[in-house]
Amino acid sequence: MQTPQKLILEHVLEHAEKNPDRVFMTQPVGGGKVVDYTMGQVVDQARRMAAHLQAQGFEPGARIAMLGKNSAHFIMAELAIWMAGYTTVAIFPTETAETVNYVLGHSEASLLFVGKLDTWPHQKPGVPQGLPCIALPLAPETGFDTWDAIVARTEPIAGRPTRAPDDIAILLYTSGSTGTPKGVMTSFAAITTAGRTAAEHTRRHGVGEGESRMLSYLPLAHTFERTWVEAASLIDGNVHLYFAEALDTFLADLQRARPTLFISVPRLWLKFQQGVFSKMPAEKLDRLLKIPLVGKLVARKVLKGLGLDQVRMAGSGSAPMPPELIDWYRRLGLPLYEGYGMSEDNSISHTSDAAHNAAGYVGVPMPGVQVRFSDEGEILIKSPAAFSGYYKRPDLDAESFTEDGFFRTGDLGEVGSNGLLKITGRAKEQFKTAKGKYVAPAPIENRINAHHMVELSMVSGVGQSAPYAIVVLAEELRPTLNESSVREEVHRELEQLLAQVNAVTAGYEQLQMLVVADEPWTIENGCLTPTMKIKRRGIEETVAPHVQTWYASSSRVIWA
């Protein structure tokens, strides 16, 4: 990896010196009120907390954990950890006490920052007794010493704190759709390269000069938000970062931010669309969009209602997105592009732009990224923002790289005639039916998820005569299912969807049935990861007692 001339901390200190009064972050604090933090205030608070951390006498490189939702003080705490000479360990704010305990123990955390949380009483038992803790502003009642009190009584560290390029900046524990979370070590060189590459990409492709606005709401414990929002804004120096307050204020938070750059994940893009359809039927909107002049006015009104009318570039990542959904947003005039990356390359792998995009493809390699394919079709990546290895897992390091340093992504893919990369599935997600043929779930799920009545789906059927799919119905639709007419209409639509999907899949991949899930999949019930990917193993274990009954039924649509 080529070492950047200027590391991320140097960028931050430089921005604070040149533009101390520029508002960098806006934090909602409840009741419709917000607090603005200038770059000078951010660095001053970080310096004071860094002095406090150093006074605790932790060893150089000590792991300091953070458990909390996105907030201005999450970023200030990270800067303080870095300035003090330590490594950040961020834990997803939705994790169970068991996972919190595992991460704190495995990382050998010396201290924990507790931030804004919804389920702290359930998570608190996972914090080892005796571990020093500090409560960030907006944290629930904890009894811990508070950020504000510490900052008020502590003098800031002086000078220009620096870190070595190979120092570990972040120990990022993967959310993991299966198995135990792995600690991905990210050096200062890697996170700097990642943030700079992301910032340059957005500036080059649509966001332009002047101040950019972003809303931070996807988990900062995940690589996607960490690189494309936090690191990119810290390096760019001309970004105004807003935060979301809560799920029920999300649209108001978007309206406040009016982002010029907005990134999300497929499930949320789908939810936005279904929210629009709940106010205007899909067929009616489709007719209006086809009318000259009227269509443009309607499209602009829809985007303004979503708070996305100022977006000059929108992105989607973390999971495949149905091509029909991308096309729908582009018809509204939203420049929405897919990308591809993972924790191990700090989300610097492939991305699309105005010149290189097609629905169903994730774009072209980003600057410095090399890509090739194994004989089995696995995507192999060498990224300039690559991680330094798995924490305490040299065995995984050896398995994960080719002899010449390419990372084995575990994803299957191909490059189309247009030069763009298409993800065709996960190697580990493929399964065999009784016919002895491998089925790749992702392409089939993509077709199902494109339907306006479906929020999520999962294709399964290991060892069965044919695969099947479970679907979670759209959020707006679920409360109306007790009406017989609605239920009958949904049943008919799903039968048609099944026929349409089977008409374009190979014979051995054709679904025997669609099963309607009896409850939505959530992070809380263990069916989704914190980044909203489905947990296949967990869902399959939950439905296992019912599968044989489903296969014995003659119905093509089954209500679980």
- Residue 391: which CATH number? 3.40.50.12780
Question: Do residues 462 and 547 share a domain?
Answer: yes
Question: Do residues 113 and 96 share a domain?
Answer: yes
Would you say the C-alpha torsion 292, 293, 298, 301 has a positive or negative sign?
A: positive
Does 249 map to a domain? no
Would you say the C-alpha torsion 54, 60, 63, 66 has a positive or negative sign?
A: positive
Q: How many beta carbons lie within 10 A of that of residue 221, not counting itself?
A: 29
Where helices occur in 345-503 by DSSP H, the ranges are 394-400, 441-449, 484-503
pLDDT at 179: 62
- Cβ–Cβ under 8 Å, residues 22 and 41: no
Question: Do residues 401 and 488 share a domain?
Answer: no
CA distance 513 to 501: 11
3-state secondary structure (DSSP) of residue 506? coil
CA distance 365 to 351: 7
Checking DSSP bridges between strand 389-390 and strand 557-559, what pairing results, if any?
Answer: unpaired
Does 253 map to a domain? no
Identify the CA nearest to 183 among candidates 106, 114, 81.
106
pLDDT at 175: 64
Question: Do residues 406 and 435 share a domain?
Answer: no
Extended strands (E) in 75-211: 87-91, 111-114, 133-135, 145-146, 168-173, 183-187
Query: What CATH number should be reported for the domain holding residue 15?
Result: 3.40.50.980
Identify the CA nearest to 67 among candidates 215, 246, 220.
220
Tens digit of pLDDT at every position of the chain (560 positions): 567 789 999 999 999 999 999 999 999 999 889 999 999 999 999 999 999 999 999 999 999 999 999 999 999 999 999 999 999 999 999 888 999 999 999 999 999 999 999 999 999 999 999 999 999 999 999 999 999 999 999 999 999 999 999 999 999 998 655 567 899 999 999 999 999 999 999 888 766 667 799 999 999 999 999 999 999 999 999 999 999 998 888 888 999 999 999 999 888 888 888 888 888 888 899 899 899 889 899 999 999 988 999 999 999 987 778 788 888 999 999 989 999 999 999 999 999 988 888 888 899 999 999 999 998 889 999 999 999 999 999 988 888 999 999 999 988 899 988 899 998 877 788 888 877 778 888 889 988 988 989 999 999 998 888 999 999 999 888 999 989 899 999 999 999 999 999 998 888 889 999 999 999 998 888 888 877 788 888 898 889 899 999 998 989 999 98
Question: Do residues 286 and 175 share a domain?
Answer: no
Does 476 map to a domain? yes
pLDDT at 57: 95
Question: Do residues 162 and 267 share a domain?
Answer: no
Does 247 map to a domain? no
CA distance 148 to 151: 5
- Cβ–Cβ under 8 Å, residues 147 and 49: yes
3-state secondary structure (DSSP) of residue 81? helix
| Measured CA distances, 202 to 165, 258, 469, 546 (Å) | 24, 16, 37, 48
Beta bridge partners of 213: 240
CA distance 184 to 152: 34
Question: Do residues 324 and 454 share a domain?
Answer: no
The full DSSP string for 244-270 is: ---GGGHHHHHHHH--SEEEE-HHHHH
Phi and psi, residue 313, nearest 5°: -155, 130
pLDDT at 5: 80
Q: First CA to last CA across the chain, in angstroms?
A: 51
Indicate the number of domains in the chain. 3
Q: Which amino acid is it at 521? A: W
- Cβ–Cβ under 8 Å, residues 278 and 480: no
Question: Do residues 12 and 106 share a domain?
Answer: yes
CA distance 391 to 398: 13
> DSSP class of residue 230?
I
Q: Which of 399, 427, 455 is the last residue of a domain?
A: 427
Does 215 map to a domain? no
Identify the CA nearest to 125 among candidates 151, 154, 98.
98
Q: Which of 204, 220, 251 is the last residue of a domain?
A: 204
Question: Do residues 300 and 352 share a domain?
Answer: yes
Token pair of 380, please? 């192999």
HSE of 542, CA atoms in CB hemisphere, 13 A: 16
Query: What CATH number should be reported for the domain holding residue 523?
Result: 3.30.300.30
Question: Do residues 419 and 435 share a domain?
Answer: no
Q: Which of 362, 396, 427 is the last residue of a domain?
A: 427
- Cβ–Cβ under 8 Å, residues 46 and 83: yes
CA distance 1 to 4: 9
CA distance 76 to 67: 14
Question: Do residues 141 and 184 share a domain?
Answer: yes
Q: How far does CA 262 lie from the centroid of its chain?
A: 12
Question: Do residues 14 and 128 share a domain?
Answer: yes
Does 223 map to a domain? no
Token pair of 75, please? 């970023």
Token pair of 491, please? 């049943």
CA distance 124 to 113: 12
Would you call 55 exposed, middle or buried from its count of C-beta atoms within 10 A (0-12, 13-18, 19+)? exposed
> Global pTM?
0.85
Q: How many beta carbons lie within 10 A of that of residue 404, not counting itself?
A: 9
Identify the CA nearest to 367 among candidates 353, 381, 354, 348.
348
Domain enclosing residue 340, as ranges: 261-309+311-427
CA distance 42 to 12: 10
Q: Which amino acid is it at 243? A: F
